[in-house]
């Protein structure tokens, strides 16, 4: 694939005004347990806007279609009356072929510049040029406002016949990981009826749902279209302050 020119895609302007610097981290929502910011993300009660910082490594810039899809998806499920802003920024290569969770955390702490503040919740998405040290994982969310997509793995998983186009796969991964930040399934947003896949952690038991566990793995199949939340996942989001 060809490396795209440096892209600074911005939905809305004025990124800096509502985001905080590192000094505010301890008092904010960031770097907390996964799912603990679900209500803050879904509702407008604590934060009226959302700032998303996407830091990508060389060769793995997200397509503008994936960014637009993510913004539309978030506007469908969360209340942010003052807006959802997405910035995309190139960062240096990891210099590795495989990354561990502690590598990812270290990189995030080096490159993340947007943190939750008085009016805006902030989410950081890292798109890495390496595989995860857990086989076949395409993406992971590991803290309340932190996501990593393994770009190299995802691109490799979208080249074959019958596999999703890479832009659709990146969209799917971003939306699935946001589902985790929104507290699905039963990790931050309590289940309204039982639908957690007991064998596979905070995932939905409906194979056609966006929150089914195989969505973020390469091992067990790809989808013909970008999956959406099923009714059980939707009602959990609504019950925790979402749309």
Binding site for Zn ion (CB under 5 A): 204, 206, 209, 211, 216, 230, 233
CA dist., res. 163 & res. 24, Å (int):
43
* Percent helix, percent strand, percent coil in the chain, to nearest 5: 30, 20, 50
Q: Is 137 helix (H, G, I), strand (E, B) or coil?
A: strand
Judged by beta carbon, residue 15 or residue 205, the one nearer Zn ion is: 205
Tell me the three state secondary structure of residue 130: coil
CB of 216 to Zn ion, least distance (A): 4
- For the CB of residue 23, give the shortest distance to Zn ion in the complex, in Å: 32
Shortest gap between Cβ of 30 and Zn ion (angstroms)? 20
The structure tokens listed for 135 are 């086989």
- Pair type for strands 146-150 and 120-128: parallel
CB 66 within 8 A of CB 170: yes
d(CA 20, CA 120): 9
Q: Exposed, middle or buried: residue 220 (CB in 10 Å: 0-12, 13-18, 19+)?
A: exposed
- The residues, ordered by sequence, that sit 6+ positions from 201 with a Cβ below 8 Å of its Cβ are 213
Given the complex with Zn ion, which of 85 and 203 has the nearer CB atom?
Answer: 203
* Min separation Cβ 95 and Zn ion, Å: 27
Q: Which is nearer to Zn ion, 108 or 230 (CB)?
A: 230
- In whole angstroms, the minimum distance from the beta carbon of 53 to Zn ion comes to 21
- In this complex, which beta carbon is closest to Zn ion, that of residue 38 or of residue 209? 209
Comparing CB distances to Zn ion, the nearer of 47 and 212 is 212
Nearest-5° angle of CA 15, CA 16, CA 20? 120
Question: Shortest gap between Cβ of 236 and Zn ion (angstroms)?
Answer: 8
The residue whose Cβ lies closest to Zn ion is 204
- The residue among 18 and 189 lying less far from Zn ion, judged by its C-beta, is 189
């Amino acid at each position: 694939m060809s490396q795209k020119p440096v892209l600074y895609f911005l939905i809305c302007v004025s990124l800096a005004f509502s985001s905080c610097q590192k000094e505010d981290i301890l008092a904010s929502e960031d770097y907390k347990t996964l799912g603990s910011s679900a209500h803050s993300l879904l509702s407008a009660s604590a934060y009226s806007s959302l700032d998303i910082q996407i830091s990508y490594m060389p060769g793995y810039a997200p397509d503008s279609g994936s960014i637009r899809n993510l913004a539309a998806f978030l506007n469908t499920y969360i209340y942010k009356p003052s807006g959802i802003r997405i910035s995309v920024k190139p960062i240096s290569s990891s210099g590795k072929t495989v990354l561990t969770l502690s590598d990812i955390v270290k990189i995030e702490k080096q490159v993340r510049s947007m943190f939750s503040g008085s009016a805006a919740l902030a989410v950081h998405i890292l798109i890495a040029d390496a595989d995860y040290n857990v086989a076949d994982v395409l993406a992971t969310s590991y803290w309340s406002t932190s996501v990593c997509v393994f770009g190299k793995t995802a691109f490799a998983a979208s080249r074959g016949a019958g596999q999703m186009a890479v832009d659709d796969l990146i969209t799917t991964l971003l939306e699935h990981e946001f589902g985790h930040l929104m507290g699905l399934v039963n990790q931050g947003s309590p289940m309204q009826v039982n639908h957690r896949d007991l064998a596979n952690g905070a995932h939905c038991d409906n194979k056609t749902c966006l929150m089914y566990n195989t969505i973020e793995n390469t091992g067990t199949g790809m989808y013909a279209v970008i999956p959406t939340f099923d009714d059980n996942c939707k009602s959990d989001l609504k019950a925790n302050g979402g749309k």
